[in-house]
Amino acid sequence: MIVDVHAHTPTHRDAVPAEDACVFTSWRTDRPVVTTNSWADFDRAMSAADVTIVFNIAVPDPAAATGIPHDPDRTNDATAEFVANDPARRIGFMSVDPTSPDCIGEAERCREMGLVGVKLGPNYQDFDPLGEPALAFYAYCERNALPILFHQGASPIRAAPLRYTYPLVTDEVAIRFPELRIVMAHMGHPWGKETVATIRKHPHVYADVSSIYLRPWVCYESLLAAVEWGCTNKLLLGSDFPIANTAEAMAGLRGVNKMLEGTALPRVPAELIEQIIHADALGALGLTVGRPVDR
Ligand SMILES: [Zn+2]
């Protein structure tokens, strides 16, 4: 089974009106990235995955903060509706603001809607990942077996401290919450080695490889670090749709050694790349597909 653990909820249920389209030409060198998309666009793009984990990010102005627009009042409802439409192929994560007084109330509401994990981006959401409100929320997630996928690594947001998404901060989260399932997005790019040092020591901390193949050297050195430290079994497939789709993510991983031709540099073994592509992400995170909504 191929599980794509990192995709952003489609922005529109139906076809996107031309005037709504958001297109970024600087995010990739090989094609523009369209961050507006319909449910049908999503299914077409993600057809190489058997199951996809989808989420929005709870920010007041998603288009400005992340480039992926959605109605901020429907951050979680939009995801829940999308998942309910095809629960055998989609798993939904909520996103909440840990500093909001209603954080736990919203999380409870999301669980009732069938959302079974959490996406947080401390940089996008402007909260300290080791602050008291965040720690209290992680405790709630640990108690209720809600995995958290953290944005990790670089972002262009000038006002957001890079420390908020630095992999070694996640090590401190994992030390305090040893039963919490965590996914470190993008292998913490460009801090792949720090991410590897973190995932190898914590049994329940994983990393996804989403988007990293778009920067070939970072991808190579991050994967090679995981090989050398014996923790490729902690890496999960992700595309970061709409930045890339699942087929592109798989092809990008399989092509990681291409640039080494004519060199004696060590290769990332093909069988370990296949291990990542076919990783049992659902088992790792304690998730199942088609889970009925608790009422
Ligand atoms: Zn993402």
How far, in Å, is the centroid of ligand 1 from the Cα of 200?
Answer: 23
Q: pLDDT tens across 203-244, in order?
A: 999 999 999 999 999 999 999 999 999 999 999 999 999 999
pLDDT of residue 155: 86
How far, in Å, is the centroid of ligand 1 from the Cα of 140?
Answer: 23
Q: pLDDT tens across 10-24, in order?
A: 999 999 999 999 999
Which residues, chain by chain, have CB under 5 Å from ion ligand 1?
240
47, pLDDT greater than 90: yes
Per the prediction, the chain carries an average pLDDT of: 95
291, pLDDT greater than 60: no
pLDDT of residue 295: 41
Domain boundaries, the chain: 3-285
96, pLDDT greater than 90: yes
Architecture of domain 3-285: Alpha-Beta Barrel (3.20)
Peptide bond into 167 cis (omega under 30): no
How far, in Å, is the centroid of ligand 1 from the Cα of 263?
Answer: 33
Rounded distance, CA 291 to CA 238, Å?
21
User: What percentage of the chain reaches a pLDDT higher than 70?
Assistant: 98
Considering only CA atoms, which of 293, 295, 292, 288 is closest in space to residue 53? 288
How far, in Å, is the centroid of ligand 1 from the Cα of 7?
Answer: 6
Helix segments in 146-255, DSSP class H:
167-176, 192-201, 216-228, 246-254
Q: pLDDT tens across 158-177, in order?
A: 888 999 999 999 999 999 99
How far, in Å, is the centroid of ligand 1 from the Cα of 253?
Answer: 17
How far, in Å, is the centroid of ligand 1 from the Cα of 264?
Answer: 34
